[in-house]
Amino acid sequence: MESGRIFFDASASRGNNMLFLGNTELAFRGRSMMSMEEASKRRPFFTSPDELYDEEYYDKQSPEKKKHRLSSEQVHLLEKNFEEENKLEPERKTQLAKKLGLQPRQVAVWFQNRRARWKTKQLERDYDVLKSSYDTLLSSYDSIMKENEKLKSEVVSLNEKLQVQAKEVPEETLCDKKVDPLPVDEDMAPIFSTRVEDHLSSGSVGSAVVDEGSPQVVVDSVDSYFPADNYGGCMGPVERVQSEQEDGSDDGRSYLDVFVASETENQNHEEGEALGWWTNMYYVG
């Protein structure tokens, strides 16, 4: 066990006058609203709890360290306990403190800080998951756009062929049927120009705002930091990311499903279906 010294400010412990009883050395300020510098000049370290009120000691010792690093054994045990349960009930706190030779307050502080570190890490992990899903979606979006362009040019060339044929065949042999070219630009533009828009914002569901031309991603991380009750079990307050619960589309799909829809999906769904044009793609990431 490390034999470091502890500088301890009893005024800062919410009224708990914490005297250090473990096997670490202790310094006691025992006074409120005193700066660290001021205090350390006046209240140097005690080498044992017995010396706590030994006024002579003040004159002999000089302040050295003001913070105590826990030993690796202490940290190990704390980590083990944190893994089991990241919150401390009072009883466990007391037991653990006894075991470690620390003040319950120190154990509580350690858990508090540990939770904060865990949360930071979790946010980083969530960000990574979200980003990779977004990247995947973006590349899918690009390939869809290319495919779309290809199909558009196919339609154009087929129309040209149709018109050529119409000119070649005498009018009376057309059985009174007029051949219209497939609409491409004006009429079909809304269908072809697959601008990815928030599928959920139009029509019956949701109201998310998405960058024009940017795909939208909905992601859930299993161990996400974000509490389900606050963020609908989703990643949380990430811009332009919408949870399933928020959008009301509780369809049982994993949030890792990435949704891409053409802007016309809602308003032209029926028309699209009739034409066989509308596309609705799920990408399972």
| Residues lying near DNA in the complex (CB under 7 A) | 4, 6, 8-9, 11-15, 33, 35-36, 64-70, 75, 87-88, 90, 105-106, 108-113, 115-117, 119
Q: Which tokens belong to 74?
A: 């202490």
Q: Cα–Cα distance between 72 and 209 in angstroms, integer?
A: 50
For DNA, the closer of residues 34 and 138 by Cβ is: 34
Question: Nearest distance from residue 222's CB to DNA, in Å?
Answer: 19
Question: Nearest distance from residue 72's CB to DNA, in Å?
Answer: 9
Q: Cα–Cα distance between 159 and 181 in angstroms, integer?
A: 5
For DNA, the closer of residues 115 and 152 by Cβ is: 115
For DNA, the closer of residues 34 and 162 by Cβ is: 34
For DNA, the closer of residues 12 and 169 by Cβ is: 12
Question: Nearest distance from residue 3's CB to DNA, in Å?
Answer: 11
Number of other CB atoms surrounding residue 133 within 10 Å: 23
Interior/surface letters 235-263, b for 16+ CB within 10 angstroms, e for the rest: bbebeebbbbebbebeeeeebbbbbbbbb
The kind and range of the H/E element at 5 are strand 5-8
Q: Cα–Cα distance between 157 and 189 in angstroms, integer?
A: 16
Question: Nearest distance from residue 112's CB to DNA, in Å?
Answer: 5
Question: Nearest distance from residue 58's CB to DNA, in Å?
Answer: 18
CA distances from 136 to 115, 141, 211, 216, 217 (A): 32, 9, 17, 11, 10
Question: Nearest distance from residue 149's CB to DNA, in Å?
Answer: 45
In three-state secondary structure terms, 215 is: coil
For DNA, the closer of residues 11 and 279 by Cβ is: 11
E strands in 189-251: none
DSSP 80: H
Q: Cα–Cα distance between 234 and 250 in angstroms, integer?
A: 12
For DNA, the closer of residues 17 and 204 by Cβ is: 17
For DNA, the closer of residues 6 and 210 by Cβ is: 6
Question: Nearest distance from residue 6's CB to DNA, in Å?
Answer: 5
